[in-house]
């Protein structure tokens, strides 16, 4: 007898063998996953997969916090421009890693790739700690970024497909916001390891980068307990395996369940997903969503990468903050970012995606413009600068997280990871790769007006994104992924 969630068809018989790519199945597996209450399984998903953003936050914070130490390193002797260039190398790696690993995630599965990408990250960040000169340092930062970029594609798709629909918005924002938990660890760790006289000048920053490698090794062990996405398995002719995993998840989750949605009929795919499928989704089925996703990603990437990658240099050059105290100023900034995503997240599921995305982008843009004006007029000190950034990014954090939420739920399951990778790559490439280099150059001029102009550009981009979100936003709250974006393999 077939499992209760599956009724399989093909032209020859009423049943199909595993891997039969001529079959059409009718299944309730997506509806069953969305109807589940929150359980320990979902908490495991959040912890084991959400660590990606903690690692990224750790890496970005360490790279920024140790920037002054790198310029004073006896071995590296980096210039301010080289610090910015290394940050851009990290982002270029993230772009290319997202595209390559994103394609493999749709081809080979979510689970296999989130082991590979984390392994790349662990090896590369450990190598960064041993870099002998600028060339190797930039290379290892590039490879670290490739691992993190691949993680974004593999992890975002897996989380979206395993979390029930009514929790998807707040969960996604909280996980993306956990970037700032990593940022806080990086801020505290750098403050200790870079304290004058504690360690030799060339050892403190190396040990700081070693933190991420050790943390990543622990997460590799935790991920062994996570299953493959049943939604991905269904589309690759592995319906019985998808049923077994779904049933196992149901047995682990207890409590009242929401009403199940209707079944969906899917035709098994006889070929791997490719960029043609992605093009059909972006330009034929959902062109408005493609514009929306691109604008949101570019605006938040420029805003964050421009400011955060060079914040330590601003504290050092304009306010004379010692390198060992940079982490102290970054800590409240990180806490505010995390609280913004965590506290505002539930409103994305209740009030709705469109009004919340537009509001958070608009408020962040307006406050960023105000901060730029105050900075240019010389009205801020290190404490007031930190307070202003903390207020701005309380809202900007939720806005940036909503960009990832938007692109990860707006396109069909067959191309979900590849779509996430593409938008991450375009947003980071257009809005982020040049930003650290640009702001590194602006800081090097020593002109507050020049830096304020860069901040104002970020504010304008955020305000434009708010308008686009209000016009093109998708009401995806509390809806199944298959309802938000019909699978390419769906049949009537």
- CA–CA gap between residue 435 and residue 431 (Å, rounded): 7
Strand 24-27's sheet: what is its strand order? 6-9, 24-27, 264-267
In a domain, 252, yes or no: no
Residue 490 pairs in a beta bridge with: 266
In a domain, 153, yes or no: yes
Judge contact between 413 and 487, C-beta under 8 A: yes
Domain count, the chain: 1
In a domain, 358, yes or no: yes
In a domain, 246, yes or no: no
In a domain, 143, yes or no: yes
In a domain, 141, yes or no: yes
- CA–CA gap between residue 218 and residue 200 (Å, rounded): 28
User: Quick one: which H or E segment has residue 157?
Assistant: helix 134-162
**Mean per-residue pLDDT, 265-273:** 74
- Percentage of residues in the chain with pLDDT exceeding 70? 92
Q: What angle do CA 114, 429, 206 make, to 5 degrees?
A: 60
- Angle of helix 134-162 versus helix 110-129 axis, rounded to 10: 150
Mean pLDDT of the chain: 84
In a domain, 378, yes or no: yes
113-145 pLDDT per residue, tens = 888 998 898 899 889 888 888 889 899 999 999
**Per-residue pLDDT at 247:** 95
Tell me if the pTM is above 0.75: yes
Cβ-count burial of 378 within 10 angstroms (0-12 exposed, 13-18 middle, 19+ buried)?
Answer: exposed
Give the residue numbers spanning the domain of 398: 40-228+274-484
In a domain, 263, yes or no: no
- Angle of helix 287-308 versus helix 416-431 axis, rounded to 10: 50
User: Quick one: which H or E segment has residue 98?
Assistant: helix 80-108
**Per-residue pLDDT at 400:** 92
- Angle of helix 353-376 versus helix 448-472 axis, rounded to 10: 170
- pLDDT band at 206, cuts 50/70/90? confident
State CA 180 to chain mean position distance.
Answer: 12
- CA–CA gap between residue 235 and residue 231 (Å, rounded): 7
Which has more confidence, 250 or 48? Answer: 250
Backbone angles phi, psi at 8, to 5 degrees: -100, 145
CATH assignment at residue 57:
1.20.1250.20
Judge contact between 52 and 152, C-beta under 8 A: yes
Pairing of strands 6-9, 264-267: unpaired
Judge contact between 408 and 56, C-beta under 8 A: no
**Per-residue pLDDT at 367:** 95
25-36 pLDDT per residue, tens = 889 999 999 999
The size of the chain, in residues, is: 492
């Amino acid at each position: 007898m077939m499992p209760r969630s599956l009724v399989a068809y093909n032209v020859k018989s009423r049943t199909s063998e595993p891997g039969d790519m001529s079959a059409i199945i009718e299944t309730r597996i997506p509806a069953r996953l969305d109807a589940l209450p929150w359980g320990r399984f979902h908490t495991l998903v959040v912890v084991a997969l959400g660590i990606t953003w903690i690692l990224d936050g750790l890496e970005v914070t360490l790279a920024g916090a140790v920037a002054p130490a790198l310029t004073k390193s006896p071995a590296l002797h980096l210039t301010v421009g080289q610090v910015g260039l290394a940050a851009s190398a990290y982002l270029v790696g993230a772009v290319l890693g997202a595209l390559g690993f994103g394609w493999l995630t749709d081809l080979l599965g979510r689970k296999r790739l989130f082991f590979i990408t984390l392994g790349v990250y662990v090896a590369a960040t450990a190598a960064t700690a041993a870099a002998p000169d600028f060339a190797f340092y930039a290379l290892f930062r590039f490879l670290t970024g490739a691992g993190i970029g691949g993680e974004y594609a593999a992890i975002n798709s897996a989380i979206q497909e395993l979390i029930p629909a009514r929790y998807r918005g707040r969960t996604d924002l909280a996980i993306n916001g956990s970037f700032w938990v990593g940022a806080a660890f990086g801020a505290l760790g750098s403050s200790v390891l870079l304290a004058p006289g504690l360690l030799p000048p060339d050892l403190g920053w190396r040990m700081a980068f070693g933190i991420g490698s050790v943390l990543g090794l622990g997460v590799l062990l935790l991920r062994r307990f996570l299953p493959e996405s049943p939604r991905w398995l269904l589309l690759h002719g592995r319906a019985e395996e998808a049923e077994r995993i779904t049933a196992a998840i149901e047995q682990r989750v207890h409590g009242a369940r929401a009403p199940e949605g209707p079944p969906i009929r899917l035709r098994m795919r006889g070929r791997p997903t490719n960029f043609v499928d992605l093009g059909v989704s972006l330009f034929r089925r959902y062109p408005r969503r493609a514009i929306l996703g691109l604008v949101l990603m570019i605006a938040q990437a420029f805003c964050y990468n421009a400011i955060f990658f060079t914040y330590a240099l601003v504290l050092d050059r304009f306010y004379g903050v010692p390198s060992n105290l940079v982490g102290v100023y970054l800590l409240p900034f990180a806490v505010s970012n995390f609280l913004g995503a965590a506290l505002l997240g539930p409103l994305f599921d209740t009030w709705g995606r469109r009004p919340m995305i537009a509001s958070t982008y608009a408020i962040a843009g307006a406050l960023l413009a105000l901060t730029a004006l105050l900075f240019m007029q010389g009205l801020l000190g290190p404490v007031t600068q930190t307070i202003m950034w903390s207020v701005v990014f309380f809202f900007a954090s939720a806005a940036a997280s909503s960009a990832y939420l938007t692109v990860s739920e707006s396109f069909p399951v067959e191309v979900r990871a590849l779509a996430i990778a593409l938008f991450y790559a375009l947003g980071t490439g257009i809005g982020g790769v040049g930003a650290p280099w640009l702001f590194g150059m602006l800081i090097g001029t020593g002109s507050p007006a020049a830096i304020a102009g860069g901040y104002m550009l970020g504010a304008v981009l955020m305000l434009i994104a708010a308008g686009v979100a209000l016009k093109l936003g998708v009401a995806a709250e509390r809806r199944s992924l298959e309802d938000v974006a019909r699978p390419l393999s769906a049949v009537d």
